Amino acid sequence: MSTLFAVGCWKLWTTRNEDFFSGEYINFRSLALSIKAAANEIRRLHPRTHSPASTPSTLTAVPIWEPPPWQWIRLNTDGVVSIASSDAATGGLLRNHEGRWISGYTAKLGFCSVLEAEYWGIFFWIKDCLAAWF
């Protein structure tokens, strides 16, 4: 099930970005079928080993979002650049110590590098925080 969830998140993100940059309509039935096919292919190519002989060096750790400490907030940002057009976008969200959504944003940036798109994401967050809290 975790493979399906991970592939679903990845496919939703990439499809959303393709839609954002190309303006094409998302066919959700086709998207669902491609998610299922990709997850099945990953499971087929990388079966899990549950034998006692498995060592930690053979296992892959998947990054998991963890909530921040009590009364803190956590910012997650991402920047993306289209290879075909070099158009860039950024987005981010804030969650509290319980993992609840506080706020979020997306922005189309035009032409820039991936690193610049990441930095713009942080900039927009700081700007919004200063406007909202001070």
pLDDT tens, position by position, 51-63: 444 444 555 666 6
| pLDDT more than 70, % of the chain | 81
pLDDT score recorded for residue 119:
86
Q: 134 or 118: which carries more pLDDT confidence?
A: 118
Range in 28-37, 54-63, 75-84 with the lowest mean pLDDT: 54-63
Neighbours of 76 (CB within 10 A): 13
- Which band of pLDDT confidence, cut at 50, 70 and 90, is reported for residue 86? confident
Q: Report the alpha-carbon distance of residue 12 to residue 20 in Å, rounded.
A: 12
pLDDT exceeds cutoff 50 at 98:
yes
pTM exceeds cut of 0.75: no
Where would I find the beta strands (DSSP E) of 58-119? 73-81, 87-96, 101-111
Q: Out of 18-32, 36-50, 77-91, give the one with best mean pLDDT.
A: 77-91
Domain boundaries, the chain: 2-51, 73-133
